[in-house]
Amino acid sequence: MVRHLYVHLPFCASRCGYCAFVVEVGALDRRDAYLAALRAELASERGRLGPLETIYLGGGTPTLMRPHRVAALLEDLAPLTAAGAEISIEANPETVDREAFARLRRTGITRVSIGAQSFQPELLAALDRGARPDQVRRAVTCAKRAGFRSVSVDLLFGVPGQTTAQLEADIDEVLDLGVDHISWYELEIKPETALARLGARPPDEDWAADAYEAIVARLEAAGYRWYETANFARPGHECQHSLAYWSARDYLGLGVGAVSTVAGRRWRNTPGLSAYLGQVSVDGVPARTAEALDAATSRRERWMLGLRLDRPLDTAWAGPPDHPEALDRLEAGGLLTAAPGRVALTRRGRFVQNAVLHELMEYA
């Protein structure tokens, strides 16, 4: 049975400059129809679900669904949900206030992840974010007061034009807020985004490495564990839903564009909202594109995912590397430590994870 559920809530007020996700802008009048379709897809899938240990409501801007629709969805899920389950929702600062958080808390949500991205007005503007810095701060404060078990903040570095001083200021700000969990990603300039069309370039490798090292060093010094490539948590506040992905556990995704991986098969729902609504209303499931994960692919994915974590990779679980002879060389070079049945990246190794993976595995 699948114990991890993702629900995609795609509505947004506007598309941010770096965004390449499945989002719907200017379609707020279809939220009720979308909720109905989600419930229909859930009805078709509920046979393979439960008891759910984690539920993650991601977007888009999930908070634009308003608390009453979220409540209705979670009521449907309640019979499938394990006691003490982690139920997360992503929130955009400008869409929530004290009242909204209080109502979300009453729906059973235990964890809020606030999409701050930065506290610097120039960088928020460069990213086309709708929130001002004070709204970001206020949203975090409100969320903490609303009594969620964990409050997380999402941040970005490597924004075009970002200075080292701005980076340090963001680190200061987020440490001041004292949240339970921080996700800090390097900005990816994906094709087809406004940033890419503007010709934005990523910072050079040395600047990005300095920034990344500074983030890791200062958050760790403040008591956060660097438990995954881009994620930091106070003890006990690791995101269980994300850990399920990194542990290669099965998960089901509901909603437009959502991805599922169950029993060696991965599929993605159609990314078109109209197609999704139409097909689910007729068939109960949307059109899907699927790929089968053979044993070799699964093994390579386990290495790819497992080495993101700070705990050692269990080779009995992941399977052998394609190039075991590289282990000694990488260990001698200070990039990993290997013991019988266990491989762990060193701090330096974690910064060059892709390059290490290419030494160990054959991604072809």
Partner 1 sequence: MQQDLIRNFCIIAHIDHGKSTLADRILQLTGAVTGRDMREQILDSMDLERERGITIKAQAVRVFYTAADGQTYQLNLIDTPGHVDFSYEVSRSLAACEGALLVVDASQGIEAQTLANTYLAVEGDLELIPVLNKIDLPAADPELHGRAVAELIGVDPSSVLRISAKTGEGVADVLEAIVARIPPPHGDPEAPVRALIFDSVYDQYRGVVAFVRVVDGAFTKGDRLVAMQTGREVAAEEVGVMTPTMLSTGRLAAGESGYLITGLKSVGDLKVGDTLTLARRPAAAPLAGYREVKPMVFCGLFPLDADDYPDLRDALEKLSLNDASLQWEPETSQALGFGFRCGFLGLLHMDIVRERLEREYDLELLATTPNVEYQLTTTGGEELAVRSPVELPPPTNIASIREPYVRCAILVPADGVGAVMQLCQERRGQYVTMTPIEQRQQIIYDLPLAEIVTDFYDQLKSRTRGYASLDYELAGYRESPLVKLDILLAGEPVDALSMIVHKDLAYGRGKALVERLRETIPRQLFEVPIQAAVGGRIIARETIKARRKDVLAKCYGGDISRKRKLLERQKEGKKRMKQVGNVEVPQEAFLSVLTLGSSSDSHAARK
Using rule CB under 8 A, residue 364 touches partner 1: yes
Per CB under 8 A, the list member of 185, 214, 216, 337 interacting with partner 1 is: 185
Amino acid at 222: A
Using rule CB under 8 A, residue 317 touches partner 1: no
CA distance 69 to 278: 20
Using rule CB under 8 A, residue 27 touches partner 1: no
Q: How far is the CB of 104 from partner 1 (least distance, A)?
A: 21
Taking alpha carbons only, the member of 143, 150, 56, 48 closest to residue 104 is 143
Q: Which is nearer to partner 1, 99 or 220 (CB)?
A: 220
Q: Which is nearer to partner 1, 100 or 174 (CB)?
A: 174
CA distance 275 to 256: 9
Whole-number CA gyration radius for the chain: 21
Taking alpha carbons only, the member of 64, 83, 157 closest to residue 117 is 157
Using rule CB under 8 A, residue 253 touches partner 1: yes
Per CB under 8 A, the list member of 200, 208, 285, 287 interacting with partner 1 is: 208
Using rule CB under 8 A, residue 76 touches partner 1: no
- Taking CB under 8 A as the binding criterion, the range among 42-50, 101-109, 127-135, 304-312 that sits at the site for partner 1 is 304-312
Q: Which is nearer to partner 1, 93 or 257 (CB)?
A: 257
Q: Which is nearer to partner 1, 73 or 248 (CB)?
A: 248
Using rule CB under 8 A, residue 170 touches partner 1: no
Q: Which is nearer to partner 1, 93 or 253 (CB)?
A: 253
Within 10 A of 311 (CB to CB), how many other CB atoms are there? 12
- DSSP for 32-77? HHHHHHHHHHHHHHGGGEEEEEEEEEEES-GGGGHHHHHHHHHHHH
Q: How far is the CB of 57 from partner 1 (least distance, A)?
A: 13
User: How many of the chain's residues bind partner 1 (CB under 8 A)?
Assistant: 47
DSSP H or E segment with residue 123 = helix 121-126
Per CB under 8 A, the list member of 116, 219, 254, 304 interacting with partner 1 is: 304
CA distance 324 to 219: 34
Per CB under 8 A, the list member of 24, 53, 173, 359 interacting with partner 1 is: 359
Using rule CB under 8 A, residue 240 touches partner 1: no
CA distance 336 to 317: 18
- DSSP for 9-26? E-EESS--TT--S--EES
Per CB under 8 A, the list member of 118, 242, 270, 279 interacting with partner 1 is: 242
Using rule CB under 8 A, residue 350 touches partner 1: yes
CA distance 351 to 230: 10
Using rule CB under 8 A, residue 152 touches partner 1: no
Using rule CB under 8 A, residue 10 touches partner 1: no
DSSP letter for 202, please: P
Taking alpha carbons only, the member of 89, 92, 82, 102 closest to residue 146 is 102
Using rule CB under 8 A, residue 48 touches partner 1: no
- Whether the CB-CB separation of 189 and 218 falls below 8 Å is answered with no
Orientation angle between helical segments 164-177 and 133-145, nearest 10 degrees: 20
Q: Which is nearer to partner 1, 36 or 259 (CB)?
A: 259
CA distance 336 to 197: 39
Per CB under 8 A, the list member of 33, 230, 287, 344 interacting with partner 1 is: 230
Using rule CB under 8 A, residue 110 touches partner 1: no
The partner residues of 290 in beta bridges, in order of sequence, read 267
- Taking CB under 8 A as the binding criterion, the range among 10-18, 26-34, 143-151, 207-215 that sits at the site for partner 1 is 207-215
CA distance 225 to 219: 8
Using rule CB under 8 A, residue 299 touches partner 1: no
Residues found near partner 1 in the complex (CB under 8 A): 6, 185-186, 188, 205-206, 208-209, 212, 229-230, 242, 245-246, 251, 253, 257-261, 266, 268, 291, 297, 300-301, 304-305, 308, 329, 333, 335, 350-359, 361-364
